[in-house]
Every structure is written in C-alpha cells, then in structure tokens.
Amino acid sequence: MINQMKEDCESLLKHYGAGKIEDVRYAHMKYPKLIPLMDFYVDRYRIDGFGMVMVMHTKTKMGMELLTMSFMPDGMSLPYLLADAMSMKKKRCVFVEYYGCGYEDLNDEKLYEVFEKYRDLEDYEEKPNWYVKERRPYSLIKTGSKEELLAMTHDSLKAYLGSIAGAVYDEDYKRKLMDFRDRMITEGNPSSKTLEMLLKKDKAVRFMEDVVMGFNN
C-alpha cells in the first residue's frame, strides 16, 4: 500500500507542477547507523504559487512501513496538510490532517467534499494530543481496506492540489503558520520522538523547520 501511495503522490505532484529539490543531507537516513533497523527516504518539492512539500518513506526491519506527506502553504489560503499512512501486516491506517492555524478564510470547499465521500469509513482510534483539537473538521483519520485508503488518499491529495489555483496570499496567515510550526516543535508532534532519536534534538528541530514544515524563505 505504501509504495502505491508514494507513487500516486509523486504522480500528482508532477501533474500539478512540483519541482523536485535535490538535498543529499536527508535523502537517505538510517537508524542505528551501524546495523540499521529503520531507513528513512526523504524527497522535497517546491510548487510555484503554493509552497513546499516533503515526502518521507520509512521502512523498518519489523515489516512496518510509514509514509509522511507534509504540504506547507507559503502563506497561501490553504490549510497546512499533514498526511500519514501506516501499513504492517493486516494493520493499516491513514491520517489526512488539515490545520487552519486560526485562519478562517481558507479555500477548502473541495476538502469538505472529499470528507463527505469518506466520512463513513471506520475511524482509527488514536491517542489524545494537543494538535488533535487544532484540526479542521474535514480531517480524515481512518482505517479500512487497502483499496479504500488508497482511494481516500488520492482524492484528498488531488482535491488539495487542485485548490491551489484558487488560493491567495496573506502575510498574516503566513505568520500564523510559522507560529503553528513553532508549537509543533515545542509542544510535540507525531514524529518528535523518532526524529530526536534519529537526528538528536538540535538537528531534529532544524529538520522540522527546513524540511518537514519548511517555507520558501
């Protein structure tokens, strides 16, 4: 499932004009370095008129695979999108998380439409955390069959990327996005422990600022 999802994401990014950024610092990371149990493959993209995208594929020796797709609008009126997928044997889930960061004038009509289409899929039970309350109401935290989750992710990414054309820039919203990024770093995010284990604290912060939730400048 994860490989198909990654290929679909890359195809959609190409369709919507994303340009790949070559960055050898994080392209392939391993933990532990001597006898790796986890491999991290990171790709970065820039979309003109939108902002930055990161795609990270994590493979583990235990058979679990993860895919994290982070879409950071550079002050454009779309919510910040963090999409996570996990697959291990028969266990699967996808989180399509939208964050408006206190900005209400979002171009999100298409995102509501996708939510209505997939809202009846089984909810995935997650642990409570501060950022859960910050999500937009059309976020999808679901489990289900491979086919259902692939379709839900495809439609979510397509609707999001297709909304770029109607987005407008707002300097105040960019400040709100930066403040939210600071909160994700200081108050914790789903990848905090993993990134600190992999990169140590200072480099993990830099990775969040420059790669996961990076801006054009």
Identify the pLDDT of residue 89: 86
Instruction: Return d(Cα 196, Cα 162) in angstroms, integer.
Output: 34
> Are 37 and 179 a contacting pair, CB within 8 Å?
no
Identify the pLDDT of residue 190: 79
Dihedral sign, Cα of residue 144, residue 211, residue 135, residue 153: negative
Residue 33 has pLDDT above 70, yes or no: yes
The residue that leads in pLDDT, 36 or 124, is 124
Residue 41 has pLDDT above 90, yes or no: yes
Q: What does the pLDDT look like over 82-111, one tens digit per residue?
A: 999 999 988 999 999 999 999 999 999 999
Residue 197 has pLDDT above 90, yes or no: no
Domain ranges of the chain: 2-212
Instruction: Average the pLDDT over 50-60 and give the result.
Output: 96
In terms of Cα–Cα distance, which of 204, 211, 180 is closest to 54? 211
Instruction: Average the pLDDT over 156-165 and give the result.
Output: 98
Identify the pLDDT of residue 217: 62
Q: What does the pLDDT look like over 104-148, one tens digit per residue?
A: 999 999 999 999 999 999 999 998 999 999 999 999 999 999 999
Dihedral sign, Cα of residue 12, residue 23, residue 164, residue 142: positive
Fold of the domain built from segment(s) 2-212: oxygen-dependent coproporphyrinogen oxidase (3.40.1500)
Residue 193 has pLDDT above 90, yes or no: no
Query: Around 170, how many Cα atoms within 13 Å sit in the side-chain half-sphere?
Result: 18
Identify the pLDDT of residue 62: 86
Identify the pLDDT of residue 192: 81
The residue that leads in pLDDT, 89 or 158, is 158
Please state whether the predicted TM-score (pTM) of the whole model is above 0.85. Answer: yes
Q: Percent of the chain having pLDDT more than 90?
A: 82
Instruction: Average the pLDDT over 182-208 and give the result.
Output: 87
